[in-house]
Amino acid sequence: MNSVPDIYRILPEVILTLTGVLVMLVDASLPPGLPRRSLGWVAATGTAVAYLASIWQLSLPVGTGFYATVETSPFTVFFHALICGIVLVALLLSLDSLPEDSHHQGEYYALVVFGAVGMCLLTAAIELLVVFIALEISSIATYVLAGYRKETARGPEAAIKYFLLGSFATAFLLYGVALIFGATGTTQIYDIANLAPSAQNHSLVLAALALMLVGILFKVSAVPFHVWTPDVYEGAPSPVVALMSTAPKAAAFALLLRVVYEMFPTLHSVWAPLLSIVAVLSMTVGNLAALRQQNVKRMLAYSSIAHAGYLLAAFAGMGNAGIAAASFYVAAYAAMNVGIFAVVTVVSGYDENLPMIQDFRGLIYRSPLLGGLLIFFLASLVGIPFTGGFFGKFYSFSAAVGGGAVWLAIIGLLNSGLAAAYYLRLAFAAAQRPSDETGLTRSYEPRAGVAVIAALLFAVAATLILGIVPGDVLHAAQTGAHTLQPPPPTATEVIGIATTQPRVP
């Protein structure tokens, strides 16, 4: 049986929870006037430790804990490390960009860390109710963070919109869970994988799949469940957008991989074409809408919808190739998207008085470093070789070609050509000669402290490593993909209600 103590299976989550609680308690006990900035460093340290803990989990034997509700495997470690990395960078970014006198800084840092708990748990959970709880933990934190700038009208609007639509989508997911429980009598993912093919009511299984897909595709902002994205990204503070456009999506994609490849592998012929269609819609609609945007954050919001599409193209791939490609793309996308939002945060500041593309005019003259970084991350989003974005697209589309969907790869690549148009608009605005009437005037001085520089450095390093020597990360993604394959049915599981029994891997 399981020789590993259960607590080790959720060590990163435990560390993150303790950090969050600590931050919250200290915040409550500090006198009101005192600056809360150091709490950010506490949160960042806790996240870094959680990162190390998740790497350490690799030394554990692959297996489950807490009555087969959570799992540790190279797959979960890959996503844990990714999420902790993103959260760490987002925290560093926030440290320098939140105003000193902001009242709720303590809560902010605590919420970011609690959100991370939910996301990590989401990737580790192999029991649908735990999945649901994890999803709610991460979502509630993000809802609140989206509305952090209460002083503007857009902040609360973003939060409300995100909250209402988000809860609606989660309800779909929950309904799907209920139906699959009805069909198979269990909510444990491995058991469902074994029981679903022989379920008496096949249409119930299909309905469950469809409902769960709706819930998850909402979280990754795929078309047609994307309408919330631009408004929420525009209203939320930039460092929060850096976080919420990457980490929850990474977690949601991990869940999607689990649901389709591990829970319903036999329904490949159903979900693969469905996801391909969603992929094409997402990239096309995302790119076309982005072309018309003048606001940088809205443009990047549509761009993230398009990237969800490129990523979904990987799901056309067969088994391991598709999973590995999708995991790699999530990492590449996270690195470059966090990077670009970090640059946007530094350029336009917390108040965002420079929201438009034209406002970036002359950036490369006013601050060559920021301008260079902006162009670098945009090049990666375009998919220029020797950046992470290139290999992300490369693996994703190779998986599609390998799975026989050449048309999907062609549409995807034509779309990346289309996307180049709006990325370039921003890049060229930054490269244009500045004028003193619009954009960055002579008096412009970007605010960049140690933490922001560290955050940018992480993002640049990650994007470059993924673009020049992707071998190691790809290897990790492939090892993860291997462990996501459904296990062969065992005698105990066929009995049915296995949720309360410890499972032997």
Partner 1 sequence: MAINESILTWILLVPLAGAVLVALLPDRGKLPAWLALLTSLVSFGLTLHLPAHFVLGQHGFQYEINRPWIENPAIFYHVGVDGLSLWLVVLVGLLAPVGVLASWNAIKDRRKVFYALFLVQQTAMFGVFISLDLMVYYGFWELSLVPMAILIAMYGRKDGPKAAIKFFLFTFIPSAPLLVAILWLYARTGTFDFVELRLLIDSGSMPTGALWWVALAFLFAFAVKVPVFPLHGWLADTFTEAPVAMAMVVAGKLGLYSMLRFHVGLFPVQSRAVAPILVALAVIGILYGACLALVQRDFWRLLAFAAISHLSLITLGIYGLTFTGWDGAIYQILNHGVVDAALFLLLGILETRYATSQIAAYGGLASRVPQTATLFVITSLAMIGLPMLNGFVGEFLILSSTFTGVSHGWAIAATLGVILGAAYMLWLVQRLFYGPESELAMRPAADLRLGELAVLWPLAILMLVMGLAPAIWIPSIENRIGIPALKGSTALPASSLSVSFQGEGQQ
* Among candidate residues 149, 334, 349, the one with its CA nearest the CA of residue 243: 334
Give the x/- contact pattern for partner 1 in 464-493, rule: CB under 8 A. -----xxx--xx--x---------------
Q: How far apart are CA 412 and CA 469, in angstroms?
A: 24
Binding segment for partner 1 among 6-14, 68-76, 251-259, 380-388 (CB under 8 A)? Answer: 380-388
Tell me how far, at minimum, the Cβ of 402 lies from partner 1, in Å. 5
Among 35, 385, 449, 496, binds partner 1 (CB under 8 A): 385
Among 334, 429, 459, 481, binds partner 1 (CB under 8 A): 429
Binding segment for partner 1 among 13-21, 192-200, 282-290, 401-409 (CB under 8 A)? Answer: 401-409
> DSSP per residue over 364-421, as a string?
HHH-HHHHHHHHHHHHHHHT-TTSHHHHHHHHHHHHHHHTT-HHHHHHHHHHHHHHHH
398 interacts with partner 1 by CB under 8 A: yes
Q: How far apart are CA 310 and CA 39, in angstroms?
A: 37
504 interacts with partner 1 by CB under 8 A: no
Tell me how far, at minimum, the Cβ of 418 lies from partner 1, in Å. 8
Q: How far apart are CA 308 and CA 184, in angstroms?
A: 31
Among 58, 160, 424, 465, binds partner 1 (CB under 8 A): 424
Size of the site for partner 1 (CB under 8 A): 40
Name the residue nearer to partner 1 (CB basis): 8 or 394: 394
Residues 6 or more apart whose Cβ sits within 8 Å of residue 235: 146, 147, 149, 152, 154, 155, 156, 157, 158, 159
Binding segment for partner 1 among 97-105, 125-133, 141-149, 381-389 (CB under 8 A)? Answer: 381-389
Q: How far apart are CA 16 and CA 261, in angstroms?
A: 29
SS3 sequence of 34-66:
CCCHHHHHHHHHHHHHHHHHHHHHHHCCCEEEC
Give the x/- contact pattern for partner 1 in 331-370, rule: CB under 8 A. ---------------------------------xx--x--
Name the residue nearer to partner 1 (CB basis): 2 or 398: 398
372 interacts with partner 1 by CB under 8 A: yes
Tell me how far, at minimum, the Cβ of 395 lies from partner 1, in Å. 8
Tell me how far, at minimum, the Cβ of 444 lies from partner 1, in Å. 16
428 interacts with partner 1 by CB under 8 A: yes
Tell me how far, at minimum, the Cβ of 344 lies from partner 1, in Å. 19
Per DSSP, what are the bridge partners of residue 70? 65, 125
Residues 6 or more apart whose Cβ sits within 8 Å of residue 296: 344, 348, 355, 356, 357, 359, 360, 426
Name the residue nearer to partner 1 (CB basis): 277 or 421: 421
431 interacts with partner 1 by CB under 8 A: yes
Tell me how far, at minimum, the Cβ of 47 lies from partner 1, in Å. 30
Q: How far apart are CA 281 and CA 412, in angstroms?
A: 10
Q: Kind and range of the H or E element at 102?
A: none
Name the residue nearer to partner 1 (CB basis): 60 or 418: 418
178 interacts with partner 1 by CB under 8 A: no
Tell me how far, at minimum, the Cβ of 422 lies from partner 1, in Å. 10
Name the residue nearer to partner 1 (CB basis): 239 or 434: 434
5 interacts with partner 1 by CB under 8 A: no
Name the residue nearer to partner 1 (CB basis): 237 or 371: 371
Q: Where are the alpha helices (DSSP H) in 292-387?
A: 296-313, 319-348, 363-366, 368-382
Q: How far apart are CA 259 and CA 323, in angstroms?
A: 12
Binding segment for partner 1 among 46-54, 181-189, 229-237, 415-423 (CB under 8 A)? Answer: 415-423
Report how far Cα 261 is from the mean position of its chain's Cα atoms. 19
> Which phi and psi (to 5°) does residue 434 adopt?
-75, 155
Tell me how far, at minimum, the Cβ of 328 lies from partner 1, in Å. 11
Two structure tokens written together for 286: 């995302």
Four-residue CA torsion sign, 42, 47, 51, 53: positive
432 interacts with partner 1 by CB under 8 A: yes
Two structure tokens written together for 204: 């119930």
Tell me how far, at minimum, the Cβ of 272 lies from partner 1, in Å. 17
Which amino acid does the sequence have at 253? F
Four-residue CA torsion sign, 371, 438, 243, 350: positive
- Contact set with partner 1 (CB under 8 A): 364-365, 368, 372, 375, 379, 382, 384-386, 390, 394, 397-398, 401-402, 406, 409-410, 413-414, 416-418, 420-421, 424-425, 427-429, 431-433, 469-471, 474-475, 478
